[in-house]
Structure 1
Amino acid sequence: MERHAPAIRTLGILGAGRLGTVLARLAADAGLRVLVATSRDATLIARPMAAIGAEAAAPASVIAESDAIVLALPLGRYRELPADALAGRLVIDAMNYWWGADGARPDLDDPRTSTSELVQQHLARSRVVKGLGHMGYQDLEDEAHPAGSPDRKAIAIAGDAAEDLAVVAALVDALGFDPVIAGLLASGIMLEPGAEAFGADVDADELRAMLDRFPTSQRGIVVARARGGHLFETTADNDS
């Protein structure tokens, strides 16, 4: 029997920097209720969030009231995420490693694992999907278009459960982009800095071609060598 992915009606975003703010505006424009939190007092971001149709809230409220939570924080802070509060929740990891923000962190630049797998290890009882972090925030803001538009751009996602991928794919579509499934969560390394798809502002066909070229790219060869000569499975579990 065909299963339909539940819709995201309330989207939570942890992080109110440039990426978090752009995603909040796009989600609000799509008709979602959007809750945004930072590590600061929620009142400090209340006015700018209200101006784009979102609500500022405490992290605990964002997590408790949202159907899915986007991580738009510096990756180096992922161990600060409340694993207990996020247990059982759908978490969309939009974080990337930047040495300027995160410092020298060899653990975040290890080709033997994707950074989203590290997040999943910390959030062991959450369902993590990699997504919304490989396109630049400027392009996200400028390139959103309705479904069917000839110049619509694409965003890739990666995750281990087909149902969760379906939910996030529907969100990507609602935000104004064509979703492309990269594969299992480990495949998210193809969306990280150093990969051709990182920073890409292209349509779905070209994004798929970039992902297909990853194994023969310089980064792909480095990853394969670090992983004993192989990359990763690319098909999500359709029985999930």
Structure 2
Amino acid sequence: MKIGIIGAGNIGGNLTRRLTALGHDVSVANSRGPHTLTALAEETGATPADIADVAKGARLVVVTIPLKNVPDLPAGFLDGADEDVAVLDTGNYYPQQRDGLIAEIEAGLTESRWTEQHIGHAVVKAFNGTYAEDIIDKALPKGDPGRVALPVAGDDEAAKQLIRDVIDELGFDTVDAGGIDESWRQQPNTPVYGLRGGVEEITEALAAASPERTDDFKA
């Protein structure tokens, strides 16, 4: 599969490592330019790219950047992607720690709905509560009883299924967490956030979530 990854931090870097190892054709971009991705490209075989070009021909695009930087993504960066491109959003709103105040999210808009509105395309939310090292260290074969499960939220059922299939290939189970308007259930400081659990534990944690944002994650 042709995959474009925007963001080469902890999550983006480890997804690049795993997805290239599985044989996917991965292009990776960051805000500092392709010349800063030489080491990652040499390690993995991924292709360094500009953000404006990274999605060209891609069936899957991963957006894994600080939420505050989403409005800075170039207009039309998805224009050259596959017509059925699925967009995976790993982002979180950290108002005190990094992002500053985003009024719409403070007023109750889910983080991924806000991202959708800025990029003009439906997204699927996953990996936002995953420890980056687990992408490398916790992968297990399908059917292994110790497999970790990840919540996956999104409105586009075909895109959600494609991403769930990729997550399965990466070595993790998934739990359908509903649509993007329900994705508050996996935002920071909810029971499922950072939980290393199986399908049953993840399902229970999603059900136990409260829509009230905790004080640590309010501006």
Shorter-normalised TM-score: what interval? Answer: 0.7 to 0.9
Task: Tell me the residue number matched to 1:107.
Answer: 103
**Could you tell me which amino acid in structure 2 is paired with residue 17 of structure 1?**
G
State percent identity of aligned pairs: 29
Task: Tell me the residue number matched to 1:222.
Answer: 212
2:169 aligned with 1:179: no
How many residue pairs are counted as aligned between the two chains? 208
Equivalences for residues 28-43 of structure 1 within 5 A: 28-43=20-35
The Cα of 1:221 is off from its aligned counterpart by 5.2
The Cα of 1:75 is off from its aligned counterpart by 0.6
**Could you tell me which amino acid in structure 2 is paired with residue 48 of structure 1?**
L
The separation in 2 between residues aligned to 1:182 and 1:146, in whole angstroms, is 22
Label 1:211 to 1:62 Cα distance change in 2 as closer, same or farther (>3 A): same
Which deviates the most, 66-75 or 82-91? 82-91
Task: Tell me the residue number matched to 2:78.
Answer: 86
Label 1:123 to 1:209 Cα distance change in 2 as closer, same or farther (>3 A): same
2:129 aligned with 1:139: no
The separation in 2 between residues aligned to 1:34 and 1:16, in whole angstroms, is 12
The Cα of 1:111 is off from its aligned counterpart by 5.7
The Cα of 1:168 is off from its aligned counterpart by 0.9
The separation in 2 between residues aligned to 1:51 and 1:108, in whole angstroms, is 40
Which deviates the most, 78-87 or 161-170? 78-87
Given the alignment, which residue of 40, 44, 49 partners 1:48?
40
* Kept after mapping to 2: 8 A contact 1:83/1:122: no
Q: Which runs of 5+ in 1 are unaligned?
A: 1-8, 215-219, 224-240
Task: Tell me the residue number matched to 2:92.
Answer: 96
Q: CA RMSD in A?
A: 1.8
* Kept after mapping to 1: 8 A contact 2:4/2:61: yes
The separation in 2 between residues aligned to 1:52 and 1:143, in whole angstroms, is 19
Label 1:110 to 1:33 Cα distance change in 2 as closer, same or farther (>3 A): same
Deviations along 1:64-84, one digit per CA (max 9) or x if unpaired, are 132111111011111112342
Deviations along 1:87-145, one digit per CA (max 9) or x if unpaired, are 5642111011223232x214375261110000111122x22111122111122221011
* Kept after mapping to 2: 8 A contact 1:120/1:128: yes
Partner SS for 1:63: coil
The separation in 1 between residues aligned to 2:211 and 2:180, in whole angstroms, is 19
Q: Which runs of 5+ in 2 are unaligned?
A: 214-219
Deviations along 1:28-49, one digit per CA (max 9) or x if unpaired, are 1222111110111212212223
The Cα of 1:166 is off from its aligned counterpart by 0.8
Label 1:196 to 1:108 Cα distance change in 2 as closer, same or farther (>3 A): farther
**Could you tell me which amino acid in structure 1 is paired with residue 98 of structure 2?**
A
Given the alignment, which residue of 3, 9, 13 partners 1:21?
13
The separation in 1 between residues aligned to 2:26 and 2:39, in whole angstroms, is 14
The Cα of 1:55 is off from its aligned counterpart by 2.1
Instruction: Provide the TM-score with structure 2 as the length reference.
Output: 0.88
